[in-house]
A and B are shown apart, each in its own frame.
Chain A
Amino acid sequence: MRCGLRRRMPGLAAAALLAAATGCGERGAGRFLPGASARLVVVAGSENKELEPILQRFARRERVVLDIRYKGSVEMMLDLEQGRANEADVVWPAHSMWISLGDIHKVVRHAESILHSPIVFGVKRSVAQRLGWLDREVTVADILAAAEGGRLRFAMTSATQSNSGAQGYLGFLHALAGSPDVLLMEHLEDAAVQRKTARLLQQVNRSSGSSGWLKDLVVERYDQFDAMVNYEAMVIEANRELTAKGLEPMVAVYPADGLAIADSPMGYIDKGDAAREAAFRALQAHLKSPAIQQEILSLGRRAGIVGLDASAVDRRVFNPEWGIDVARVISPVPVPAEPVLRRALELYQEGGLRKPSATVYCLDFSGSMKGEGEAQIKQAMRLLLDREQARRFLLQPSGRDLHLVIPFDRAPRRVAEARGNDPAELGRLLADIDATHAEGGTDIYAAVQQALQALAERRISSDYSVAVLLMTDGRSQGDDGALRQALHGRETAVPVFGITFGEASDSQVKRIAALTGARVFDGRSGLVQAFRHAKGYN
């Protein structure tokens, strides 16, 4: 130990504290605070889930507690705007633009890239072959043509909730605007650019708020997808799972004029705690150490001291058979200036560029919801249907969205409807919800049946991004038999997302979600936030 001061301070703890305060301790050596411990709340992008064991191994060895939570990069940006009030100590979004935009209070320190991964089109091999894409340069115009010709169904996360969707979207915009030096406001306001972008996004056959979850869904229901926009690392992960199941892999297509790369920066939110900061520096140094970078590389993420050393990669992971191209120069389209970036996201969400959503809210108004639960439902719906509130989370409705609300208890009570984003019409829907009161039993299955029927009656087709949001707090009577009947033989189910509250049976909503290719959000520590997350999936 080169720290001279240490010899003078009595007591191990005092010395350790001082060591932390003066930063004594070797970068990368891993012994940062013998005898002490720190707890770090780490908020990370879902695409990093496979790396969690690496972080927890470090945590066990160094006696640090890492409370790792996964969030979308855009939400991380919004949280950063809170400055030190952010629950997170460590922020790890998929791209540094979200730190640049969110860190208005300048609390983020030591932000450094841990790994990087290009955003690619992962296309089922047979589809890529059919399209003639296997051995040539593919542009965004080619993708648009294939999608419009009905020859390419692709999944992509929401550009306003998830980084892979955002970067994919910015890449499309850039290319469709004619590849300018950088995207400017005039390009966004150009009707032709808007039209072409909308036409491309109309071909998305599944949205998601999470890149990692989208990959899982595509792997699980592979027959329903031709392609997905996601990180190269997610395509590699997916392919390992697909080939293990004996299914054909996806081929990575790098849109030549719409390239983007996620640089995965990990930063520290400074709240003045020296012990936590020392723990962060040690964690970051560990992740950037040569051995761990090699391990990260083996998991299909690009890593290494400078860019990617193509000679160091394992070709069973960065598999050329899967179109993975480590020799290609990935020159990303420049990130636009902040006002342009924000306007682009606004156009996507509210300006009609994204595929319209058709959402059915099945809201449990059984007796047990009286009081707190009822209040939270109403608050959550207000957040989603009131433009100004929704706007804060980039969830505002667009002019073509469809909103159906089905309050239920032992039976569905009615189907209330609003179309578009006219404040008066949405206001009426909200007033209807506010006037609804909790009483009675619970049957979620009847409610979901009603939801599916309501969608069928309105002939809601794949022109919409459809979802049912089922919020419930109780054990439901009935069973899923009729629902299974209804789903049997249908190629694509309408995804039924669960939002649980109170005494809700996780298993019931989980089964429905699993049947329909959806997921469950725990609303027990806050219904509003759970609704917000769920809404990001269509």
Chain B
Amino acid sequence: MKNFLLIVLAVAVAALALFAMAPRRPAADAGRTRPAGPLRTVSLYVGGEKMKFLENPETRRLLAERHGLSLHAVKAGSIEMVRDLDLAGKDALWPSNDIAVEFFRMRGAKARATDIAFNSPIVIYTGWNIANALIREGLVEKRDDGYYIVRFADLLAMCQERRKWKDLGLNFFGTVSVRSTDPSRSNSGNMFAGLVANMMNGADVVDERRVEALLPRLQAFFSPMGLMEHSSEDIFLKFIATGVNNSMIVGYENQLVEFLLAHPENREAILSSVCVLYPLPTVWSSHPIIALTENGQRLIDAMRDGEIQDLAWRRHGFRSGLAGVSQNPAVLNIPFVPETIESVIPLPSARAMDRIVQALSAPR
């Protein structure tokens, strides 16, 4: 009898353990019966690149019907929101950078929970005239799958050597350069600064000991950008409006994906104007949700919903933050998106990034 009971107990424990360890239930069931009552409002700061996803009526519907949530999202730079802005009344912060979470902790603040919802690699956007010039120079190559890579160390060298666009056979003034958002206020610029720092460090991840020596070169690299935008969405939209044939900008893979999906009738016009270059190596932009309150926690839970994750990829180009989930680029029907990202380098350590942000902070 005792053995029988022990077996039952063991089976029960095993079943419980299996249940607890099981990955979150897949799409169809998760959040089907939402909490009763009126919608809870989640107030958050969010990186601009997620705005269109959050404003998508389909996203709002899923959040409301499956999770009982309505969002009040205010756009803010990823670094600004964890370092400078007032958090009173906010349920969550949703920057575009895991380092932002570190900065948040370094300021002494406590999060209820954090969770990476999405990932998107940093890419470089430019026009075909510039891309073709770089192909001629051997910096850019087309992969069999149809996407383009750029050897980032070589591009960096070209910028630092102050080669002119005219030297590459292009017919306009200026020095070859890659523009980004303000690294001290916005994530894509921040991550780009980390990538540039690593490459200036001989393609080695920068730590606290190495960072000081690199700061003057980093400052010299960013200073010529002049007035930098504070948000990744701003720099992307300005690029689309006036910058395509005369500049290279840093952005996220998902920005052009989303833009194409939002303008299907202009697909050919967009594809024939804009080229996306995947840097070798690049850095991942993770989109962690920092929950400050219970409502923030509910947002985390909601974003793990398979249907919402699927929507995020299908309509906005965000790669999943869930472990073990891979992206199918065929779903997007966009030629330039790779299935996996070839070459990734981790960002410098949080303390090193902090020094970098300090050194690149423009006087206000």
> Residues of A with Cβ closer than 8 Å to B?
2-5, 21-25, 96-97, 100, 106, 109, 111-113, 116, 179-184, 256-257, 259, 261, 263, 270, 290, 304-307, 309, 329-332, 334-341
Contacts and interface: CB of A to CB of B under 8 A. Distances in A.
Contacts of A24: 57, 60
Contact of B240 (A179, A270, A307, A337): A307
A181 B238 contact: no
Interface stretch (B15-23, B170-178, B320-328): B170-178
The 3 A-B residue pairs whose C-beta atoms are closest, nearest first, are: A181-B224, A113-B241, A331-B246
Q: Name, among B57, B65, B174, the residue most crowded by chain A CB atoms within 10 Å (CB to CB).
A: B57
A511 to B, nearest CB: 43
Contact of B237 (A23, A113, A183): A113
Nearest to B231: A111
Interface in B149-182: 165, 170-175, 177
A151 to B, nearest CB: 25
A263 B76 contact: no
A290 B264 CA distance: 12
Contact of A3 (B61, B70, B225, B230): B61
Given A2-B61, A96-B238, A329-B172, A306 B270 contact: yes
Contact of B245 (A109, A290, A329, A339): A329
Given A113-B238, A329-B172, 19 more contacts: A4-B65, A24-B60, A100-B230, A106-B85, A109-B75, A263-B241, A306-B266, A306-B270, A306-B274, A307-B245, A307-B273, A329-B171, A331-B172, A331-B246, A334-B226, A335-B227, A336-B227, A337-B228, A338-B227
A106 B75 CA distance: 9
Interface of B: 55, 57-58, 60-61, 64-65, 70, 74-76, 85, 129, 165, 170-175, 177, 223-230, 234, 237-238, 240-242, 244-247, 263, 265-266, 269-270, 273-274, 362-364
Contacts of B273: 306-307
A23 B223 contact: no
B171 A97 contact: no
A307 B241 contact: yes
Nearest to B61: A4
30 contacts: A4-B61, A22-B70, A23-B55, A23-B57, A24-B60, A106-B74, A113-B241, A113-B242, A116-B242, A179-B173, A181-B174, A181-B175, A182-B226, A259-B173, A263-B241, A263-B242, A304-B269, A306-B240, A307-B242, A329-B171, A331-B174, A334-B225, A334-B226, A337-B226, A337-B228, A337-B362, A338-B364, A339-B362, A340-B226, A341-B227
B244 A306 contact: yes
Contacts of A307: 240-242, 244-245, 273
Contacts of B74: 106, 109, 270
B269 A309 contact: yes
Nearest to B220: A181
Nearest to B227: A335
Nearest to A175: B173
Given A22-B70, A306-B240, A2 B270 contact: no
A86 B315 CA distance: 36
Contacts of A330: 172, 242, 246
Contacts of B242: 113, 116, 261, 263, 307, 330, 332
A307 B243 CA distance: 7
A338 B230 CA distance: 13
B227 A97 contact: yes
Contact of A5 (B64, B263, B269): B64
Contact of B226 (A4, A23, A290, A336): A336
A23 B172 contact: no
Contact of A331 (B173, B230, B238, B240): B173
B165 to A, nearest CB: 8
A288 to B, nearest CB: 10
A3 B240 contact: no
A342 B238 CA distance: 22
A332 B240 CA distance: 14
B55 A116 contact: no
Contacts of A336: 226-227
B229 A2 contact: no
Q: Name, among A22, A112, A180, A339, the residue most crowded by chain B CB atoms within 10 Å (CB to CB).
A: A22
Given A106-B76, A307-B240, A329-B172, A334 B227 contact: yes
A183 B223 CA distance: 10
Contacts of B247: 331
Contacts of B263: 305
A213 to B, nearest CB: 25
A305 B237 contact: no
A38 to B, nearest CB: 18
A97 B242 CA distance: 14
A327 to B, nearest CB: 10
Contacts of B270: 305-306
A23 B58 CA distance: 10
A257 B240 contact: no
B227 A181 contact: no
A113 B55 CA distance: 19
A106 B266 CA distance: 32
A406 to B, nearest CB: 43
Nearest to B77: A106
Given A96-B234, A182-B224, A336-B227, A22 B241 contact: no
A111 B244 contact: no
Nearest to A264: B241
A339 B175 CA distance: 23
B110 to A, nearest CB: 24
Contacts of A305: 240, 263, 266, 269-270
A263 B245 CA distance: 15
B229 A100 contact: yes
Contacts of B60: 22-24
Given A307-B244, A329-B246, A331-B174, A263 B129 contact: no
A111 B245 CA distance: 22
Nearest to A270: B74
A505 B263 CA distance: 54
Contacts of B170: 329
A329 to B, nearest CB: 4
Nearest to B244: A307
Nearest to B362: A337
Contacts of A22: 57, 60, 64, 70
A164 B332 CA distance: 42
A465 B129 CA distance: 45
Contact of A335 (B58, B226, B241): B226
A2 B58 contact: yes
Contacts of B172: 329-331
A480 to B, nearest CB: 47
A261 B247 CA distance: 14
Contacts of A25: 57
Contacts of A329: 129, 170-172, 245-246
Contacts of A113: 237-238, 241-242
